[in-house]
Structure 1
Amino acid sequence: MAKQQTIMREVKPHVSMQQRMTDYTQALTELKQGDGDVVVPVQLQRKYKCNQATNNPRQDKSTARHHRSEVLLKKSARKQWKDEMSKKAQKKSQDKALQSKTNKEEDAAEVQRCIERVRELLKGEKNLKIRDDDQFLLRYLRWVKFDPDVAFNKIKDIYKFRAENKEWHCSKPPAEYEDILALNIQVMLGDRDRRGRRVYLVKIGNVDTNNKDLTIYRLNHVDDLWMEVAMEEDETQRNGLAVIIDMEGYSLKLFRWLTPHNLSVCSRRFYNLAFRQIDIHVVNTSFLLNTSIALVYPFLDSEVKEHVHFHGRDWTSLHKFITPDVLPPEYGGHKPEVDYRKSQQYLYDNEEKLK
């Protein structure tokens, strides 16, 4: 085995760096006269800020500077990672806190006071003819954390928008849309995610572009039916909605719908949904779809953009938001295939809530 020697020379703290490097080089020169390898002890490595000796003070200084740069980069990356993890943990904690405290925040007397206040404000709007029952008003109060004045202004803005865009909003019962429901484009899944949110599935590939009766307006009417039923549910009002948009089979013919006006209206419709939390998850994307997204993305409202997540075909990414125990197999889930007829029956069973 090759003989190894080590530098054991003591370096005093008060000695200058130049003198230290001179002593260090001299020690190496003396030791290298032997046949063995030279091993620099950890103590000297730390003092001279370098690794294995090179017998070249300038190179050793350069190595030391490089080492310090690497350390700084690692510290910076570690800090960035810690900051990101801290933000994620904080958001998760806030979500849990919101979900766990919702019922406690809804003091019965205070809730009733807020309802009566909104009802009183609505009476002053002679041209606004809408429901004023408790459950209807609760959806807006829960949305804005029980601020009656803000809830009232939201209601006014929403119904003003609806009046200005009547063709986009539903005013008919589910039976009028049986032809669209039969295409299995939109459906509410039977289970909630771990945050207690409803999961709404939209399969764009099932849109029949050759069907002249299938317009963008009627598709939005069906969305309205599902949203109205969901917004009547206490748990959904409190916890929100998760939307999965499946782009498998996306057709070029749908480009004709992607006009600036249509995108602006759809963006506003999303903004008007009275859910505390709502996220959109886009899956099964393709090169064609990515091109479409690049074209339409600038027209979307900034609030909409914050809630849109693109997963492609990465089910692990999707499962970070919606766990597989509530999803069908086609999205990496453990539930059976979607029973569209059974799910759609929920609309008919709750038709009274749509009036």
Structure 2
Amino acid sequence: METSEYQCELDESSNKKAWLELHEDPKERLGAASTLREWVRQQDWLRTPTDDKYLLSFLRARKFSQLGARELLENYWTVRTKLPEWYSDVDPADNKPSEKSFDDVMRANLALFDYLLLDENIQVNGFVFIVDLTGFTRQHFMATGVENSKKCMLVTQKALPGRIKELHYYNTGSVFETIFNLIRPLMSEKLRNRVHVHGQNLTTVYDKIDMSLLPEEYLPDDYEGPKAGCIQDIADNLAKSLLQPKIKKFIVDLHSGKYGVDLSKKSKDSEPQASFRKLNVS
């Protein structure tokens, strides 16, 4: 899965941001990917795709630090290997049951991340999440469980080759407060500072996020500006994109079991080491 035909897809704004914020030099980006690829080839315990575009997502997530990208790549495949209930045998064409388990939801969400991170502009600019907790009850929380919440934090902070810029929670209540108090100690200070809780107030959401980016269901009735469309159309278009042959093949391949880690083969002296002392996947 290696290619020498890489063509940068960054738009002008993202290219400038990559230079200023991520230390990405257009003249050196392929050299950086090549250096990371050579390191991967020396690790017989690590199996991963090694094409330029794929490796650049890890370099961008760690501001082109080779050590940081290696740690993230190790964490990424360690988590995926140890959590097969979320990462194995995923196919965008599968029809999920109407009564979805938490594992089903996570499998779909994490496959969606894999798809979104194919976009180099997303790699550079990062994610802004809006989580609508309308209808979320104590029963939903009990079905999720504390251990799943911990695993989500692990994936989000240690094993996701993407930049999380903001997390917005809307329509929160006492159940959210219970969950957030449990997971807050697991969050880094940087992530905690990027969390915004809006209660039942969409006005404060508008203060943070351009209204043109929101689905029409979240906009005032008198709003007449540009918008992202209705939720169902957005979901339908996304589903169609995931079923494009090239995209579907990529996701199926990534979850096929051919990639991962065998830590029994990993030398204690191999670099990087720091990430695994703190990476606890039960």
**TM-score tier after normalising by the smaller chain length:** 0.7 to 0.9
Q: Supply the distance in 1 between the matched residues of 2:205 and 2:46 (Cα, whole angstroms).
A: 41
Q: Supply the distance in 1 between the matched residues of 2:249 and 2:193 (Cα, whole angstroms).
A: 34
Q: What pairs with 1:263-302 in structure 2 (closer than 5 Å)?
A: 263-271=149-157, 272-294=159-181, 296-302=182-188
Partner of 2:239: 344
Contact residue 99 and residue 239 of structure 1 kept, 8 A: no
Q: CA deviation at 1:257?
A: 3.3
Q: CA deviation at 1:135?
A: 0.6
Matched letter for residue 220 of structure 1: M
Partner of 2:127: 241
Q: CA deviation at 1:125?
A: 1.2
- Give 1:165's match in structure 2, choosing from 69, 74, 83: 83
Question: Normalized against structure 2, the TM-score is what?
Answer: 0.72
Q: CA deviation at 1:292?
A: 4.1
Q: Tell me, which stretches of 5 or more residues in structure 2 are unaligned? A: 1-12, 254-282
Question: Normalized against structure 1, the TM-score is what?
Answer: 0.58
Partner of 1:310: 197
C-alpha root-mean-square deviation of aligned residues, in Å? 2.4
Residues 98-147 of structure 1, C-alpha deviations (whole Å, 9 max, x = no match): 97342575333311111111001001111211100001000001111112
Q: Supply the distance in 2 between the matched residues of 1:123 and 1:99 (Cα, whole angstroms).
A: 29
Structure whose alpha-carbon radius of gyration is higher:
1
Matched letter for residue 63 of structure 2: K
Matched letter for residue 353 of structure 1: F
Contact residue 240 and residue 276 of structure 1 kept, 8 A: yes
Distance 1:217 1:270, change over 3 A: same
Aligned-pair identity in percent equals: 23
The answer to which structure, 1 or 2, has the higher relative contact order (CA under 8 A, 6+ apart) is 2
Contact residue 17 and residue 124 of structure 2 kept, 8 A: no
Matched letter for residue 351 of structure 1: K
Confirm whether residue 111 of structure 1 aligns to residue 8 of structure 2. no
Q: What pairs with 1:1-355 in structure 2 (closer than 5 Å)?
A: 100-103=16-19, 105-176=23-94, 178-179=95-96, 211=99, 214-271=100-157, 272-294=159-181, 296-302=182-188, 303-332=190-219, 335=227, 336-338=229-231, 339=233, 340-349=235-244, 350-354=247-251, 355=253
Q: Tell me, which stretches of 5 or more residues in structure 1 are unaligned? A: 1-96, 184-210
Partner of 2:8: none
Distance 1:173 1:258, change over 3 A: closer
User: Aligned residue pairs: how many?
Assistant: 226
